[in-house]
């Protein structure tokens, strides 16, 4: 995560598309690994905040936005679904 932060500066660094590809191909599968088993815990605000925090940092780097932008706005700007919705969708698709 630190390497990603170093390579995604506001003015220079990896492009928006490259960062989005990194997230969808590498980081998101790690966050969704085993989601069928622990999907119920996302309903608790403590765990949802942890996952949202990780996604928010990545979304800020993709959008090249400042920390004052809300997570919901970042998800809209980057066109990425919030991680807790993806987890719930994966859980519901196997029922």
pLDDT in tens, 2-21: 565 555 555 556 777 888 88
Tally the domains of the chain: 1
Q: pTM here?
A: 0.75
Q: How many CA atoms lie within 13 A of 79 on its CB side?
A: 5
Helix (H) or strand (E) holding 53: helix 45-63
Find the domain containing 16 and state its range.
Answer: 2-93
Torsion (CA) 13, 79, 27, 40 in degrees, nearest 10: 150
pLDDT in tens, 19-74: 888 888 988 898 888 888 888 888 888 888 988 998 998 899 888 888 899 999 99
């Amino acid at each position: 995560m630190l390497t990603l932060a170093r390579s995604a500066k506001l003015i220079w660094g990896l492009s928006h598309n490259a960062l989005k590809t990194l997230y969808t191909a590498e980081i998101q599968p790690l966050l969704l690994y085993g989601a069928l088993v622990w999907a119920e815990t996302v309903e608790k605000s403590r765990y949802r905040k942890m996952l949202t925090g990780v996604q928010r940092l990545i979304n800020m780097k993709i959008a090249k936005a400042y920390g004052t932008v809300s997570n919901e706005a970042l998800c809209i700007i980057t066109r990425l679904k919030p991680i807790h919705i993806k987890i719930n969708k994966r859980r519901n698709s196997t029922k």
